[in-house]
Structures are given as C-alpha cells and as structure tokens.
C-alpha cells in the first residue's frame, strides 16, 4: 500500500506531475509528424498508430522512472491515456493506456494494464459523446471554474454542457484509482493522502494536467491552421497577380494582330499561330515556379510575335545566360512583363528600334537577372511610381515581394535617351 504523503510533499509531487504532463505534451507537439496528426480531426489508421507511437513511449518512460527511481511525480499514465482518448479516439486511448502501463504491469502492478485501457476507453467515449469535435479542445486546465455556471444552466434552463463530462471523467478515474489502490495494495499505483479531504488535490491535479495537455496541443493546432490559411491566401494572391499579367499580354498582342490584318495578312496569320502556342501554355497547368530554361522558351515565343510587328532589323534580342543558371527556378511569367515594357515604352517610341540584352548568372547562392534596353529611358522622377503602379513592373515587384519577402531585390536604373536596366536578384532555388 502507498504510504500517505504529507500535505507539503503531496502538493510538490502534484506540481511536478503537472510539469511532466505539460513537458511530454509540448515535446511531441514539436514533431512535424505529430503536427500532421493534429491537422485534422478525422484520422487514418496510420495517423492513429503514429499518434500512439509518439505519445505512449514518453508516458511509459515516466512510469518506468517512477518504478526504478521512486519519483512518483513522473507517472502520468492516467492523464496520458485519458488525453489520448479525448484527442485521438477510443482505440488510440486504449493503446496509449496499455503501452504506458506495461512497465507497471511487468513490475507486478496487475491492475495497471486494465486500468490504463479503461482510462483510454473513457477518453474515447467522451470524445464520441461530443457532437462537435472542436469542443474537445475547449477543455482547459481551468475549465472547473465554469462548473457553477454549468450547474446553474442545467438546473434552471435544463441545458447541459459537454465540458462537464471530462471533469467528471477525470474525477471519477482518479477516485477509482485511489479506491482500487487502497483495496488491492501493490496492484495499482496511486498517490496516498494523509487526511480524507486531501483526496481533492490529486483530483484537481488530474483535471489540470489533462486540460493543460489539451491546451498545448490546441495551441499547436491553431498555429498550424493559421499557417495553412496564410499559405492559402498566398496562393490566392499569387493566382490573382498572375491573372493580371496574362490579359495584359493578350490584349496587347491582339491589338498587334488587328493592326496587321489588312496590311500584312500573312504576318497576322503567323502571329495568330504563335499566339495560339503561347495560350496553350498559359491555359495548361500553371506553376508558380518554372526553370529559367522554360521561362526563356516562353520569351522566345513572345519575341517571335513582337518581331513580326517590329521587324527583325528593328528589334534585336541578345541572351547571355550561364548554363548553370538555366535549371534554377524562377517565378513563372517573371521576364515577359519586363521585356514587354522595354519594347512598348523603351524601344517603341524610337523610329529606328533598338536592342534588348538579357543576362543571367548564378552567384553566391543567388540568381542575378538583368534586362537592358537602349530605348528612350525613364525620367528620374518617374522611377519611384513605376514600382507601385501599373501592371507590368509593379506586378512583378509585388509577386517577388510575396514569394521572397526581404530576400529579393528589384532595381531600375535609367538615363533619358540612353536606355533602362532592370536588375533582379532572388535566392537560388534548384530542382535538386
């Protein structure tokens, strides 16, 4: 039979037990595998097994520590099994309760195994009784403070509250453990209390330990959901930004076709063929990132369209791209708006046309891309507004900001009547 603890020793032991329960919950909550389990309420068999394999061993180690070293505070087998049942379901709770109780059972505590299974089953049944599984996570370490209000609502309005059930479950299982431990000495571990009223303390500690573990996991769940929502918003924002580029390019190209239909029908027909090839690519599977090689192929098709209008003698395009840079990933439709701006606003006003040079190098873990034209240039006072207005450069700048945060740079350097250079620097991302 367990020796009764003095009030001071009992309080310290229970406080340490709360720390152990919280530490185990926080430890496994850091695992990306366990976070995957917490991501949704309906779990596959593999995810439930993963839950058991991650949570049961630390709880079992606590029981073993209590047996080998005599540290009573490390035994959180009741709390662990009940929490597993509440969070993971009946079978998950029973498996955690069974594995956690094995060290005690092998040590001769014969009631530990069935009691551990019972705790897990009770947690699972309580979960099943909860119509909205999100409410399970509302059970916290201080839920007992709402008990008077719940009882009042139950008496006056006949409205029950599911959160009363975990409270009763914690209290009932702790009382049962103490009763069995006293009735069958040595068959089940419990914390003995000197005076009768001290039994309230283990019950209180069990409620707080279970609520604390659920609260830690719930905080992790909330962080995961916020991250998922942030990624969804990012994807939606990227889709919206990309959709701004495609109509811009399409309308400008159609205007070019319209201008050639009467005067050069053959050129217009070739232009439509090129445009159809580009549209097939745009309407196909769209990825946020593509290899630079693929982006340059798209640029070649686009320039083939523009050269029909300008003529090869008025629009020259030169590429200087390192072989190593070709397989690095860049945001899709990164270069087309920039080159389009160079043609429309830089070279377009010049009667004699001009040239565009594209350079790309890999340097110190970064990809540097330069688009230079010898067009009419941009007045210095207009450069700041280009970053934030219009569709072309401002759109590219916004997409880079969304994708890379502070890890990118986009700079515009221009001199009137001499030309414009746009330099982009982004982190190196490869397929390997």
Q: What is the pLDDT of residues 209-255, one digit of tens each?
A: 999 999 999 999 988 887 776 766 666 555 655 555 556 667 767 88
Task: Please indicate whether residue 305 or residue 331 has the higher confidence score (pLDDT).
Answer: 331
Residue 271 has pLDDT above 60, yes or no: yes
**How does residue 6 score in pLDDT terms, banded at 50, 70 and 90?**
low
In the chain, where are the structural domains located? 7-229, 261-427
For Cα atoms 274, 280, 286, give the angle at the middle one, nearest 5 degrees: 130
Cβ distance 350 to 388 under 8 Å? Answer: no
- Mean model confidence pLDDT for the chain: 86
Please, what CATH class does the domain formed by 261-427 belong to? alpha beta
Residue 310 has pLDDT above 80, yes or no: no
Cβ distance 43 to 37 under 8 Å? Answer: yes
Strands 354-363 and 366-373: antiparallel
Residue 227 to residue 297: CA distance in whole angstroms: 35
pLDDT at 2: 55
Each residue's pLDDT tens digit, 80-96: 999 999 999 999 999 99
Residue 212 to residue 204: CA distance in whole angstroms: 12
Residue with tokens 């991302």: 429
End-to-end CA distance of the chain: 62
What is the percent of the chain with per-residue pLDDT over 70, rounded to a whole number? Answer: 89
Q: What residues contact residue 139 under an 8 Å CB cut-off, 6+ apart? A: 86, 163, 166, 210, 211, 214
**Helix crossing, 200-260 with 164-183: angle to 10°?**
140
Residue 304: CB atoms within 10 Å: 18
pLDDT at 344: 81
- When pLDDT is averaged across residues 407-422 and rounded to a whole number, the result is 91
pLDDT at 189: 93
Residue 304 to residue 361: CA distance in whole angstroms: 24
Residue 380: CB atoms within 10 Å: 10
Please report, for residues 43, 113, 138, 177, 390, the alpha-carbon distance to residue 91 in angstroms, rounded to integers and kept in the order given. Answer: 12, 15, 22, 21, 59
Q: What is the pTM of this model?
A: 0.63
Q: Comparing 123-132, 144-153, 356-365, 382-391, which segment has the lowest mean pLDDT?
A: 382-391
Residue 281 to residue 298: CA distance in whole angstroms: 9
Residue of 115, 120, 113, 57 whose CA lies nearest to 89: 120
Task: Please indicate whether residue 352 or residue 324 has the higher confidence score (pLDDT).
Answer: 324
Residue 81 to residue 70: CA distance in whole angstroms: 21
For Cα atoms 279, 283, 287, give the angle at the middle one, nearest 5 degrees: 115
For Cα atoms 82, 86, 92, give the angle at the middle one, nearest 5 degrees: 80
pLDDT at 269: 83
Task: Please indicate whether residue 280 or residue 298 has the higher confidence score (pLDDT).
Answer: 298
């Amino acid at each position: 039979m367990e020796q009764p603890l003095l009030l001071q020793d009992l309080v310290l032991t229970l406080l340490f037990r709360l720390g152990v329960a919280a530490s185990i919950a926080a430890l496994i909550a850091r695992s990306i595998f366990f976070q995957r389990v917490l991501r949704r309420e309906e779990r596959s068999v593999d995810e439930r097994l993963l839950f058991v394999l991650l949570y049961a061993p630390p709880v079992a180690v606590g029981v073993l520590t209590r047996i080998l070293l005599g540290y009573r505070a490390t035994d959180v087998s009741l709390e662990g099994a009940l929490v597993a049942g509440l969070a993971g379901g009946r079978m998950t709770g029973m498996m955690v309760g069974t594995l956690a109780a094995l060290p005690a059972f092998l040590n001769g505590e014969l009631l530990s195994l069935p009691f551990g299974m019972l705790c897990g089953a009770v947690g699972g049944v309580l979960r099943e009784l909860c119509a909205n599984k999100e409410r399970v996570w509302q059970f916290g370490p201080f839920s007992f403070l709402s008990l008077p209000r719940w009882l009042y609502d139950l008496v006056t309005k006949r409205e029950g509250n599911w959160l009363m059930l975990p409270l009763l479950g914690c209290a009932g299982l702790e009382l049962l453990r103490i009763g069995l431990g006293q009735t069958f000495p040595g068959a089940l571990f419990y914390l003995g209390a000197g005076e009768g009223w001290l039994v309230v303390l283990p019950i209180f500690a069990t409620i707080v330990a279970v609520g604390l573990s659920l609260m830690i996991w719930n905080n992790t769940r909330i962080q995961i959901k916020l991250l998922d929502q942030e990624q969804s918003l990012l994807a939606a924002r990227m889709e919206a930004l990309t959709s701004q580029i495609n109509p811009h390019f399409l309308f400008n190209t159609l205007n070019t076709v319209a201008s050639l239909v009467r005067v050069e029908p053959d050129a217009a027909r070739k232009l439509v063929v090129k445009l159809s090839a580009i549209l097939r690519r745009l309407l196909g599977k769209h990825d946020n990132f593509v290899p630079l090689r693929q982006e340059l192929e798209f640029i070649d098709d686009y320039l083939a369209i523009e050269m029909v209008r300008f003529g090869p003698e008025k629009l020259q395009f030169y590429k200087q791209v390192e072989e190593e840079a070709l397989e690095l990933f860049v945001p899709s439709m990164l270069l087309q708006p920039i080159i389009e701006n160079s043609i429309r606003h830089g070279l377009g006003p010049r009667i004699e046309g001009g040239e565009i040079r594209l350079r790309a190098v890999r340097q110190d873990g970064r990809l540097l891309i330069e688009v230079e034209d010898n067009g009419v240039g941009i007045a210095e006072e207009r450069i700041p507004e280009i970053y934030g207005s219009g569709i072309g450069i401002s759109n590219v700048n916004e997409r880079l900001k969304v994708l890379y945060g502070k890890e990118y740079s986009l700079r515009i350097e221009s001199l009137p009547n001499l030309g414009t250079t746009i330099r982009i620097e982004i982190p190196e991302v490869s397929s390997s």
